[in-house]
């Protein structure tokens, strides 16, 4: 009996020493230090051409001024252009091809009025910071979508994908 126990211990020791780790499909990414960061793994379903209108410097906490937002949009596959409202004119909006215009509420209201009509009209997303529910409801009626700041970057990217999903059937029609 002792021989069998000794032989089993020796064979299991040899088996442990000579074996290799075999990981399943995604298990190797779950090991310490080998994970993929969300910002690098996210890719937009429908990449968009986005115009971000920066508010004047007097607005201290502007969500659209966040450099992490610009970086996240570019990493997701969107093409991003940033302009000041004073440099924004009718010709720029009419001749350039943008899918989404992202601006603070005051700027978004003036932009929505000068946009050309038709299926290629860009979707205007108004950014509201610290707003009440009444202001939020009014903005939802006024704009194509509303971004209530502050929001995590993943929620902003999801909102942009949702807006682009609604634009795709309009572009094909």
* SS3 assignment, position 22: coil
Half-sphere exposure of 97 (CA within 13 A, CB side): 5
Does the CA dihedral 139-140-144-146 come out positive or negative?
positive
pLDDT at 15: 78
Helix axes 153-172, 67-76, angle to 10 degrees: 50
pTM: 0.66
Contacts of 100 (CB under 8 A, 6+ apart): 48, 49, 50, 51, 122, 123, 124, 125, 160, 163, 164
Question: Residue 115 is encoded by which pair of tokens?
Answer: 């946009």
pLDDT of residue 48: 83
How would you write the pLDDT of the chain (173 residues) with one tens digit per residue? 788 989 999 888 887 787 676 666 766 666 665 555 554 556 777 888 888 888 776 555 566 777 788 888 888 888 888 887 766 666 666 666 888 888 887 777 777 777 766 667 788 888 887 777 888 888 888 888 888 877 888 888 888 888 888 876 655 44
- Residue ranges of domains in the chain: 42-172
Our measurement of the distance from residue 145's CA atom to the centroid of its chain's CA atoms, rounded to an integer in Å, reads 14
Q: 42-172: what fold?
A: Rossmann fold (3.40.50)
Cβ neighbours of 78 (radius 10 Å): 21
- How far out from the chain centre does Cα 41 lie? 11
pLDDT of residue 172: 47
What's the rounded Cα separation, in Å, for the pair 36 and 56? 37
């Amino acid at each position: 009996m002792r021989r069998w126990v000794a032989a089993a211990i020796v064979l299991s020791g040899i088996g442990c020493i000579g074996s290799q780790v075999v990981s399943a499909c995604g298990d190797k990414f779950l090991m310490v230090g080998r994970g993929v960061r969300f910002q690098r793994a996210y890719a937009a379903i429908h990449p968009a051409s986005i115009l971000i209108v920066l508010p004047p410097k007097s607005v201290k906490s502007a969500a659209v001024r966040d450099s992490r937002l610009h970086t996240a949009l570019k990493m997701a596959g969107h093409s991003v252009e940033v302009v000041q409202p004073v440099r924004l004119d009718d010709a720029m909006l009419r001749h350039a091809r943008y899918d989404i215009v992202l601006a603070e509420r005051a700027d978004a209201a003036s932009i929505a009025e000068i946009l050309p009509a038709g299926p290629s009209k860009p979707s205007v997303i108004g950014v509201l910071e610290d707003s009440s529910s009444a202001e939020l409801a009014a903005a939802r009626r006024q704009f194509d979508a509303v971004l209530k700041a502050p929001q995590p970057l993943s929620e902003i990217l999801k909102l942009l994908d949702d807006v682009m999903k609604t634009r795709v059937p309009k572009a094909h029609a």
